Amino acid sequence: MPILTCPVCGHDLASSGNSFVCAQGHLFDLSKEGYLNLLLSSQHRSRHPGDAPESARARRSFLSGGYYAPLRIFVADRLRGKIVLDACCGEGYYTSAAAERGFETYGFDIAKDMVRMAAKADKRSFYFVAGLHTVPVRTASVDTLTHLFAPFADESFARILRPGGTLMTVIPGERHLWELKAALYDAPYPNRETPPACSLTFVRSERLRYTFELTDTQSILDLYRMTPYAYKTARTGEAKLSALGSLRVTADFLVLTYQR
Ligand SMILES: C[S@@+](CC[C@H](N)C(=O)[O-])C[C@H]1O[C@@H](n2cnc3c(N)ncnc32)[C@H](O)[C@@H]1O
Ligand SMILES: [Zn+2]
């Protein structure tokens, strides 16, 4: 795994049997699913960092319905170079698309359960547990960095990308999930499209907008539970949505491209 570095000392990691080891002898064992845990206990505060299990479960169930497949393809179509890294990869839904296209693909997330799931399902990518601000990857080693619906880390991204490399980050557009919000709130307001504070050179912004039909209550609830609205209005929201048997929803994504 030529891009990985030791989270303790920063030297390169080399594969050695079922482990990875650096020149100073720090050793990391591969899990049985084939991922590497490179998150040191000093690098996270919570015992289970990352998304709440409930929202992670809902996301997995929703994504498996294929409603965001157009975005998966949209992003994969824009990958360039040889080495792709998916930051905050979750269960690897978008990561695996890069591997299917033949890129040397890596994905990391701070949530070990997510990474385990990703590694179990996708044998073509290499997954590791790590935090955004301490990504154990060589400086200037990545051709394309993808980053969807997750916290932003400008310094890390700028460090990891090779000169000329590309960052693609996806944020919700103003109409994203409009009908879901209209079912929840009397006066929903459009999302604010705030681009991240990014020191890289802005290249373009592309919008992907379409509608999809949820044809059962469970899928509507899954979608709801993976959104931030579920934290704010859990009880009343679930009650309102449970009364719905189907819902046509707008997907509105902004795909922002930057270059180092
Ligand atoms: C909304 S999910 C998106 C996951 C995936 N990109 C997708 O779109 O399916 C946000 C992800 O960011 C991860 N995350 C949050 N903070 C992080 C951090 N500091 N370092 C790495 N991952 C982080 C969470 O564990 C979660 O999997
Ligand atoms: Zn080391």
- H or E element that contains 238: helix 234-242
- pLDDT tops 80 at residue 233: no
Interval between CA 15 and ligand 2 midpoint (Å): 13
Ligand 1: residue of 37, 60, 88, 93 to mutate (most ligand atoms within 8 A of CB) is 88
Domain spans of the chain?
47-259
CB atoms within 10 A of CB 79: 19
Q: How many residues in the chain?
A: 260
- Token pair belonging to 208: 């992907």
Q: Which ligand is nearest to the CA of 20?
A: 2
Q: Please give the pLDDT value at position 81.
A: 97
Task: Tell me how far apart the alpha carbons of residues 24 and 32 are, in angstroms, rounded to a whole number.
Answer: 25
Q: How far is CA 114 from the centre of its chain?
A: 10
Residue 93 Cα: closest atom of ligand 1: 9
Please give the DSSP secondary-structure letter assigned to residue 133. G
- Homologous superfamily assigned to 47-259: Vaccinia Virus protein VP39 (3.40.50.150)
Question: Is residue 11 packed enough to be buried (19+ CB in 10 Å), middle (13-18) or exposed (0-12)?
Answer: middle
Residue 122: what residue type? Answer: D
Q: Please give the pLDDT value at position 234.
A: 67
Buried b (16+ CB within 10 A) or exposed e, 128-141: bbbbbebbbbbeeb
**Non-local CB neighbours of 39 within 8 Å, separated by 6+ positions:** 7, 49, 110, 112, 129, 130, 131
- pLDDT tops 90 at residue 90: yes
Mean pLDDT computed over every residue of the chain = 94
Interval between CA 235 and ligand 1 midpoint (Å): 25
Interval between CA 149 and ligand 1 midpoint (Å): 7
Lowest mean pLDDT of 16-20, 225-229, 233-237, name the range.
Answer: 233-237
Ligand 1: residue of 71, 75, 109 to mutate (most ligand atoms within 8 A of CB) is 109
Position 57 confidence tier, pLDDT thresholds 50, 70, 90: confident
Q: Which ligand is nearest to the CA of 23?
A: 2
Task: Tell me how far apart the alpha carbons of residues 22 and 88 are, in angstroms, rounded to a whole number.
Answer: 24
Q: Please give the pLDDT value at position 236.
A: 86
Interval between CA 11 and ligand 2 midpoint (Å): 6
Per-residue pLDDT reduced to its tens digit, 64-76 = 999 999 999 999 9
Q: Which ligand is nearest to the CA of 12?
A: 2
Question: Is residue 57 packed enough to be buried (19+ CB in 10 Å), middle (13-18) or exposed (0-12)?
Answer: middle
Calculate mean pLDDT across residues 132-157.
97
Interval between CA 27 and ligand 2 midpoint (Å): 8
Q: Which residues have CB atoms below 5 A from the ion given as ligand 2? A: 6, 8-9, 22, 24, 26
DSSP 26-76: -EEEBPTTS-EE---GGG-SSSS-SS-HHHHHHHHHHHTTTTTHHHHHHHH
Interval between CA 209 and ligand 2 midpoint (Å): 45
Give residues (CB < 6 A) around ligand 1.
50-51, 88-90, 93, 109-111, 114, 131-132, 148-151
Closest CA relative to residue 85, chosen from 162, 142, 34: 142
Residue 96 backbone phi and psi in degrees, to 5:
-65, -25
Closest CA relative to residue 63, chosen from 228, 172, 212, 238: 212
- pLDDT tops 80 at residue 48: no
pTM to 2 decimals? 0.95
Q: Please give the pLDDT value at position 87.
A: 98
Q: Which ligand is nearest to the CA of 152?
A: 1
